[in-house]
Homo-oligomer: A and B are copies of this chain.
Amino acid sequence: MTSHAIRYIRVTPIAFRDPPLLNAAGIHEPWALRSIIEIETDSGRVGINETYGDQSMLDVLAKTAPALIGLSPWDLNAMETRVQALVKPAGLTSEFLGEQISLAPGTHVSKNAAKVSSAFEVAMLDLQGQLAHAPVVDLLGGAARDAVPFSAYLFFKYAEHIGQPYRPDEFGEGLSPAQMVAQARRMIDGYGFKSIKLKAGALPPEQEVATMLALAKAFAGAPLRIDPNANWTVATSLKVVEQLQGVLEYYEDPAPGLDGMAAVAAKLKDLGDVPLATNMVVTDYAEFADNARRGCPVRIVLSDHHYWGGLRTTQQLSRLCQTFDMGLSMHSNSHLGISLTAMTHLAASVPHLAYACDTHYPWQDDEIVQGGRLQFEHGSLRVPRTPGLGVCIDPEALARLHDNYLRCGIRNRDDLGQMRKYEPTFTGKQPRY
């Protein structure tokens, strides 16, 4: 009988161009990091995945990968047990990160076990699907929808990076309301998105409110969201939501911490009762329980399989949300097509995920998968029906993107440090407004 035991795991860090996008922590660097996982079986099959590419992540992937040799691709429980045994839950490998912890939970070392489990789980599910002749979505219970809607994810941005490392992107400057409406128009024309999300917390709140009102006018009827990444005080959060009454689908992470969110929630009933959403204060199960014990001030969780522990774990998060009458949406970081495909399989398999998912995909112009950039139809991606994930690595693209990594000099995401190149006195202190 053919052995499908895991015989080799390769982790390749890559880097790809990322525009100068503004956020609460600072600004994106010119290169975004990811890593590509390839898990090979004795039978010569290869399962793939894409995840974080920061040094601390590469360290824990390197530490854990050898422990999986000999496992069957079906042994997800055993994989998790081995990963947990090797990766301490608390941050032992790095002092790095400070303010960025909450902005990008995926970069925090406290999530290492969940992140590593997720990294391997998706590649093992890709192998399972190949062995079972079934798409990953079927391994997750089958498609509740044939296509998964994503949202137009708008960022305030500069026209080009400091130092001009490469040709500017096509979106141009995005600072004024008119520029942001143009950005949305360009993105919606290109992809067909029906929902719009604005990454806020970067400019003075009145400018961001004006942008939202301009978007609401220009795209009447489109669900709109704003996400200042906890860069507002409770008072500012309430002032903004009052100005945006009738405009918001949900209100994502206005104020810092569960205390801040609860303080905002306590006043929202009289301000249109828009639900609070988060990817900052409910980022793991312990935080989920905290929010539930406090009566669910946060009513929507933005899931992200990359740091919640994987696709199956995210389905369990969906059950938790249903149990406590909470909604479920999906968060993203800068990523390429393998992550996007995994997100699509997952979202298709979770009936309760009723919001258009976030994706940074339109901000990238490169790809790692064979066939190049994935094609959206009316703002949605069709769920692959071929076995496994349904995408393969383009070896030339992998070599090129790995070469980017070797040359770019970035080893850990640092939006704060990058912003200081523009504004040396920028502190990153939050909440800023």
Contact = CB atoms under 8 A, between A and B. Distances in A.
A76 interface: yes
A322 interface: yes
A219 interface: no
Interface size class of A (residues with CB under 8 A): 35 or more
A312 interface: yes
Contacts of A144: 77-78, 81
Interface of A: 72, 74-79, 81, 128, 131-134, 138-139, 141-144, 285-286, 288-289, 292-293, 295, 312-313, 315-317, 319-320, 322-325, 349, 351
B132 A351 contact: no
B285 A319 contact: yes
Contact of A316 (B142, B288, B319): B319
Given A78-B142, A81-B144, A81-B351, 17 more contacts: A72-B142, A77-B141, A77-B142, A77-B143, A132-B132, A139-B139, A285-B319, A286-B323, A288-B323, A289-B292, A289-B323, A289-B324, A292-B293, A316-B316, A316-B319, A316-B320, A319-B320
Contacts of A313: 319
A60 B319 CA distance: 24
A150 to B, nearest CB: 20
Per CB-CB distance, the 5 closest pairs between chain A and chain B, nearest first, are A132-B132, A74-B138, A316-B319, A75-B142, A76-B141
A289 to B, nearest CB: 5
14 contacts: A74-B138, A74-B139, A74-B142, A75-B142, A76-B141, A78-B143, A132-B132, A132-B133, A139-B139, A292-B293, A293-B295, A316-B320, A319-B320, A320-B320
A133 B131 contact: yes
B349 A285 contact: no
Contact of A323 (B75, B139, B320): B320
Contacts of A315: 316
A126 to B, nearest CB: 14
Given A132-B134, A134-B74, A292-B292, A141 B323 contact: no
Contacts of A141: 74, 76-77, 312
A315 B142 CA distance: 17
A295 B317 CA distance: 20
A45 B316 CA distance: 30
A85 to B, nearest CB: 12
A328 to B, nearest CB: 13
A351 B83 CA distance: 14
Contact of A132 (B131, B292, B295): B131
A315 B131 CA distance: 23
A404 B85 CA distance: 52
Contact of A72 (B76, B138, B320): B138
Nearest to A76: B141
Contacts of A293: 292-293, 295
A37 to B, nearest CB: 19
